[in-house]
């Protein structure tokens, strides 16, 4: 742990400061990338649970955004105007980087919080991931909305 991130920018070599001093590698004005590798790589394809890690500074990402892609992999679950309840996994096509986030989300009624089948059937998705305390959050929202009526 130090003020400086464990790794410099992979592209330009610039040292990066940690966003939080207690972090090992949480670059400020940069992003950490991790992979366990891919079939086809002759450099890194770990089967032992070991990540290859690199940082790229925001300036290098911006300068070479024509080399980036983006892909929506989950839709946040929205309820009562809020997110943070979990997400629904999706596998959309990767596209060239646009800089615009896909704001698509899944809206559920309070009664359906924690009910993967209800959400999965509605959105034809098999994998719904709820936060660990979804039952407590649902109970709080039900109480809050019951108190308002
Ligand atoms: Zn850089």
Q: What is the DSSP string of 17-76?
A: BBSSTT-SS-BTTEEEEEE-B-TT-SS-B-SSS--EEEEEEHHHHHHTGGG-EE---EEE
Residues 93 and 35 reside in one and the same domain: no
Q: What is the pLDDT of residues 46-98, one digit of tens each?
A: 989 999 999 999 999 999 999 999 999 999 999 999 999 999 998 889 999 99
Find the 55 Cα to ligand 1 centroid distance in Å: 8
Sequence-distant (6+) residues with CB within 8 A of 76 are 83, 84, 87, 105, 106
Ligand 1: distance of its center to the CA of 62 in Å? 10
Residues 61 and 73 in one domain: no
Residues 107 and 140 in one domain: yes
- Measure 45 CA to ligand 1 centroid, in angstroms: 25
Residue 35 phi/psi, 5° resolution?
-155, 150
Q: Of 42-46, 125-129, 144-148, where does mean pLDDT reach its minimum?
A: 125-129
Give kind and range of the element (H or E) at residue 89: strand 86-89
Same domain flag for 12 and 77:
no
Tell whether 62 and 74 lie within a shared domain.
Answer: no
Measured in angstroms, how far is the CA atom of residue 116 from the centroid of ligand 1?
42
Q: For residue range 4-53, what is the model confidence (pLDDT) as tens digits?
A: 999 999 999 999 999 998 899 999 999 999 999 989 999 999 989 999 99
Indicate whether 131 and 141 sit together in one domain.
yes
User: What domain range includes position 55?
Assistant: 1-67
Answer yes or no: do 63 and 83 share one domain.
Answer: no
In the reported structure, the alpha carbon of residue 28 is separated from the centroid of ligand 1 by a whole-number distance in angstroms of 12
Residue 111 DSSP one-character state: G
Q: Are residues 97 and 143 in the same domain?
A: yes
For tokens 């949480």, the residue is 26
pLDDT of residue 62: 97
Pick the last residue of a domain from 67, 92, 118: 67
Q: Does the pLDDT value for residue 119 go beyond 70? A: yes
The pLDDT score that the predictor gives to residue 147 is 80
Domain count across the chain: 2
Q: Does residue 47 share a domain with residue 108?
A: no
Please tell me the distance between residue 122's alpha carbon and the centre of ligand 1 in angstroms.
43
Contacts of 105 (CB under 8 A, 6+ apart): 75, 76, 77, 78, 83
Q: What is the pLDDT of residue 41?
A: 94
């Amino acid at each position: 742990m130090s003020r400086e991130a464990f790794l410099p920018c992979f592209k330009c070599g610039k040292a990066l400061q940690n966003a939080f001093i207690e972090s090992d590698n949480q670059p400020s004005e940069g992003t950490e990338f991790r992979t366990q590798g891919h079939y086809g790589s002759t450099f890194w394809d770990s089967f032992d649970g070991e990540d290859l890690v690199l940082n790229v500074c925001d300036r290098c990402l911006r300068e070479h955004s024509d080399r980036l892609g983006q892909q929506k992999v989950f839709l946040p679950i929205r309820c009562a105007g809020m997110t943070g309840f979990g997400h629904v996994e999706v596998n959309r096509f990767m596209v060239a980087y646009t800089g615009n986030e896909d704001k698509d989300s899944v809206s559920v009624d309070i009664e359906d919080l924690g009910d993967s089948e209800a959400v999965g059937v509605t959105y034809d998705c098999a994998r719904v991931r709820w936060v660990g305390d979804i039952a407590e959050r649902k109970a709080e929202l039900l109480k809050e909305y019951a108190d308002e009526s």
